[in-house]
Amino acid sequence: MPATRQVSAADLDKSDPLAPKREAFHIPDGVIYLDGNSLGCLPKAAVARMNEVVANEWGESLIRGWNDHAWIDMPARLGNRIAKLIGAAPGTVVAADSTSVNLAKALTAALEMRENPNVILSDTGNFPADLYMAQGLIRGLGRGHKLRLVAPEEVEAAIDETVAVLMLTEVDYRTGRRHNMARLTEKAHEAGAVALWDLAHSAGALPVDVGGAGADFAIGCTYKYLNAGPGAPAFIYVRPNHLGHVEPFLSGWMGHEAPFDFDPRYRPAPGPERMTVGTPPILGLSALDAALDVWEGVDMGEVRAKSMALGDLFIQEVEERCGGYGLKLGSPRDAEARGSQVSFHAENGYPIMQALIGEGVIGDFRAPDLMRFGFAPLYLRYQDVVDAVAILECILRTELWREPRFQVRAKVT
Ligand SMILES: *Cc1c(COP(=O)(O)O)cnc(C)c1O
């Protein structure tokens, strides 16, 4: 039998086509960052851009900046940049508001397209932000809509003609489980339902094709895998054939056809700008612009291949080295069925994660018992994965996590 030679992490890093991208980021000394699914690392270019925008554009141009630096066009211009990363046509995406607010905008627009069916179908793994928005909107609209939640595996079978809107997050924030967007969208359409996708854990993590899948609406986040900074503006996509008749319930003046006509009557803009509401946050959008520069020329196929390999390596290392400590895989073992994160159940997951963070390996914790690790292929190395697991193994072996300082629950976990 031929000897199977395992390729070392160092060799994998040497042949990694994405390796040079790491240089574009500031990675703090002594940190292995496995939380790019929550808040991406700082792109170095964002520092210079923010300084420039604050000191020169804001400082010197003041109100003239809206025209002189085309601030007013940033939501649509950056929307077009994001469109390329999610398989959307030009002129279908804007960068605006938060993911939560964009969900509310998309969901109300989607519900308006359906007269009779009254069910919003989602799954129990969806992020609470989305479910809460749906609950509040149902109350506010007062049209008797119902939120129906089923297990992620049961979504497909639950799509029937009572469903007005299928509202799903493609990649589960806890387990990383990935829905089949194209198939479920097709099922939704067969039942006459509108399909709304949250791409919070997809954009920048894996190839997305909202156009090809026929999604009606999509929303997503830019501070996770797109690295645009804490609370950065989110995005919203509207399928081209809906753009002309979507009536935004947040009928903001920035979504007006001609905001500076100051016409008392609302008339929506013809393009995706109609999904914007108020004055765009130029500082946040500028950081997003710089963060998107890093994605120029990046092959999403390479991102996906590396993401799957990093996740597989992590699972293999944890099970080999930490198998005796009661950690249990909480993510699909098959990389195809995962997004770009891996979670492990652990009885003492919270203090173990705090001890890990104390040792420079940053992941996060999701109640009740999930230790969550994100793999951002643009700046992570295979060696980081091996080193992180070595530190985890040491913490488990020495029971460092038992120290009282690791038991204190912070506000953000
Ligand atoms: C991260 C995330 C959000 C965050 O929404 P914000 O409005 O930015 O707080 C919403 N939905 C999902 C599915 C997420 O993963």
pLDDT truncated to tens, each residue of the chain (413 aa)? 444 457 899 999 999 999 999 999 999 999 999 999 999 999 999 999 999 999 999 999 999 999 999 999 999 999 999 999 999 999 999 999 999 999 999 999 999 999 889 999 999 999 999 999 999 999 999 999 999 999 999 999 999 999 999 999 999 999 999 999 999 999 999 999 999 999 999 999 999 999 999 999 999 999 999 999 999 999 999 999 999 999 899 999 999 999 999 999 999 999 999 999 999 999 999 999 999 999 999 999 999 999 999 999 999 999 999 989 999 999 999 999 999 999 999 999 999 999 999 999 999 999 999 999 999 999 999 999 999 999 999 999 999 999 999 999 888 88
Phi-psi region of 142 (alpha: psi -120 to 50; beta: other; left: phi over 0): left
Residues identified as active-site: 127, 198, 223-224, 372
From atom 15 of ligand 1, which residue's Cα is the shortest distance away?
200
Distance separating alpha carbons of residues 30 and 40, to the nearest angstrom: 17
- Nearest atom in ligand 1 to the alpha carbon of residue 224 is 1
Upper half-sphere CA count for residue 122 (Cβ side, 13 Å): 25
Judge if the beta carbon of residue 89 lies within 6 A of ligand 1: no
Q: Which atom of ligand 1 is nearest to the CA of 198?
A: 13
Nearest-atom index, ligand 1, CA of 234: 8
CATH topology of domain 9-30+299-406: Aspartate Aminotransferase, domain 1 (3.90.1150)
Hey, whose CA ends up nearest to atom 3 of ligand 1?
A: 99
Question: How far apart are the C-alpha atoms of 62 and 93, rounded to whole Å?
Answer: 27
CATH 3.40.640.10 fits 48-293, yes or no: yes
40, 103, 74, 72: which is closest to 237 by C-alpha? 103
CATH 3.40.640.10 intervals, the chain: 48-293
Q: Report which ligand 1 atom has the smallest distance to the Cα of 126.
A: 13
User: Measured in angstroms, how far is the CA atom of residue 281 from the centroid of ligand 1?
Assistant: 18
Distance 373 CA to ligand 1 centre (A): 17
Distance spanning both ends of the chain, measured CA to CA: 49
In the reported structure, the alpha carbon of residue 233 is separated from the centroid of ligand 1 by a whole-number distance in angstroms of 11
Q: Which atom of ligand 1 is nearest to the CA of 127?
A: 13
341 C-beta closer than 6 A to ligand 1: no
Ligand 1 geometric centre to CA of 43 (Å) = 21
Nearest-10 crossing angle of helices 44-52, 282-293: 140
How much is the pLDDT for 2? 44
The reported pLDDT for the residue numbered 5 is: 52
**pTM metric for this prediction:** 0.97
- The set of residues, in sequence order, having a beta carbon less than 8 Å from that of 231 and lying 6+ positions away, is 98, 223, 284
Pocket test for ligand 1, best of 39, 103, 107, 130 (most atoms within 8 A of CB): 130
Q: Is 130 in the pocket of ligand 1 (CB under 6 A)?
A: yes
Of the candidates 236, 277, 230, the one whose C-alpha atom is nearest the C-alpha of residue 254 is 277
Q: Does ligand 1 come within 6 angstroms of the Cβ of 375?
A: no
Q: Is 100 in the pocket of ligand 1 (CB under 6 A)?
A: yes
Q: How far is the CA of 103 from the centre of ligand 1 (A)?
A: 9
Q: Whose CA is nearest to atom 4 of ligand 1?
A: 99
Phi, psi of 268 (to 5 degrees): -70, 150
Q: 386: part of which helix (H) or strand (E)?
A: helix 382-398
Q: Give the three-state DSSP class for 236.
A: strand
From residue 72, give the alpha-carbon distance in Å to each of 28, 78, 260: 34, 11, 12
User: What does the DSSP 8-state code read for residue 62?
Assistant: G
Q: Which residue, 262, 352, 265, 287, is CA-closest to 74?
A: 287
Label the pairing between strands 42-43 and 364-366.
unpaired
Which residue ranges does the chain devote to CATH 3.90.1150.10? 9-30+299-406
- Name the 3-class secondary structure at 380: coil
- Tell how far the Cα of 221 is from the centroid of ligand 1, in angstroms: 7
